[in-house]
Amino acid sequence: MKRDIYTKLLEWKTSPRRKPLLLQGARQTGKTFILKEFGRHEYVNTAYCNFEDDPGLDQFFQRDLNPDRILDELSVYLNQKIQPEADFIIFDEIQVSNRALNSLKYFAENKPDVHLAAAGSLLGVKLSAPGSFPVGKVNFLHLYPLTFLEFLDALGESRYRKLLENIDTFVPLTEAFHSHLIDLLRRYYFTGGMPEPVKHFSETGNGGETRKIQDEIIKSYVLDFAKHAPAADIPKLTQIWDSIPKHLARENKKFIFSAVKKGARGRAYDNALTWIEDAGLVHRANAVATVKHPLKHYENQTCFKVYALDVGLLGAISRTPVEIMVHGKRLFNEYEGAFVENYVAQQLVAHFSLPLYYWRSKGGKAELDFLCEFEDRICPLEVKAGINPKSKSLKSYDLQYKPARLLRTNLLNFKKDGKIGNLPLYGISLLANLFLAED
């Protein structure tokens, strides 16, 4: 179970400003499971409504959006009396019913004692009919694939999670701990954070079967393209999705539309890329040439990189042999460190809920992998695939901006090298704390 999101659900339950909750995220990230588990553990009963599996549910929202009437009729339909204070109500796949989505506003205003959570795909909610979204009347939570820390919990290695969470300096870990965490990181690169592959691999250790599960998830995404996307964009969506490993395998990982298809232009493919991004399947990192707070004011939206939502799915899309992913020592350097950079992007988004940026010097002679804004501070982060401590781009950044400290992440242990703090890849969740610790 995702401990982090469960903790946030508990905070929502007890908040005096609680509103209906909208849990969003890409398909197959475990939204339904976590809500059902939360209901089972924290409430007397759970009333579960899935608008995709049972289209008839939509009829209860057509006459009006009176919460009392809706609850009374749902109680009869579900054959269970819904008690507002004691029971948990789940509206799953809510994007299917615009009226049900709009009803959240009326539950917030007229029935604040009801504990109601809705789950829906990012894309479906974004595409909901005009006027149906309950602006300002819902609390939001976003469910990402499991982070590396949550993966440790899933593998029964919570002791290592606790070890990492107690670190507040760059003092090296005992070498035995460091080596074992690197091995666990290698396994995470293979499974990624999608709950079903992680569960299967943790129970069986069977890499081949785990890859088949990943392939099935990818097929479900491609079917979503055909089901929900504009017909003219469907081939473009598949081409962009399949091109992600190719882009990340290049030394310059900038996304180029002509690499998707020969002769392709941004104006023809940009809508398709935005569709995939809205579906939560990719993360985009925009380039910044001028590093000032806030970074958004200086981003170049025409120069960007694209990362897959999950490093395990990236391995499946690229058809990287299971043997390399599970056992290969070359993994961290494979494809120009594509897995490493994608892994870092995935962890940054999940842990810090920040937009992704990278620094590209004017003229493009130097690039720094990530810039992260913590409070009003900008953290420069260089990502290295192996144990090479040389940091050419980090030094170029330092010469131009002279920040108080610089961060680098690779396979080396925690260490301090002058103003550069070295963070092992398995400790990327500590980035903000360690960057701000010496203020």
pLDDT digits (tens, 9 = 90+) for 354-373: 999 999 998 888 999 999 99
| Domain closes at, from 142, 166, 199 | 142
| Domain closes at, from 111, 142, 173 | 142
Domain identity same for 154 and 105: no
Domain identity same for 131 and 76: yes
Domain identity same for 136 and 226: no
pLDDT number for residue 122: 61
pTM for the whole structure: 0.92
pLDDT number for residue 244: 93
Instruction: Average the pLDDT over 192-197 and give the result.
Output: 97
Domain identity same for 19 and 40: yes
| Domain closes at, from 95, 113, 142 | 142
Domain identity same for 136 and 212: no
pLDDT number for residue 129: 54
Domain identity same for 356 and 414: yes
For residues 339 and 345, is the Cβ–Cβ distance under 8 A? no
What are the tokens at 428? 């990327």
* Residue with the larger pLDDT of the pair 319 and 174: 174
Is 80 exceeded by the pLDDT of residue 386?
A: no
Instruction: Average the pLDDT over 375-403 and give the result.
Output: 88
pLDDT digits (tens, 9 = 90+) for 269-295: 999 999 899 889 999 999 999 999 999
Mean pLDDT of the chain: 91
Domain identity same for 41 and 100: yes
Domain that holds residue 79: 3-142
Domain identity same for 153 and 99: no
Domain identity same for 81 and 67: yes
The total of structural domains in the chain comes to: 2
Please report, for the domain that includes residue 19, its CATH number: 3.40.50.300
Sequence-distant (≥ 6) Cβ neighbours of residue 407 within 8 angstroms: 379, 380, 381, 382, 420, 421, 423, 431, 434, 435
Domain identity same for 136 and 198: no
Domain identity same for 158 and 187: yes
Domain identity same for 208 and 279: yes
pLDDT number for residue 337: 77
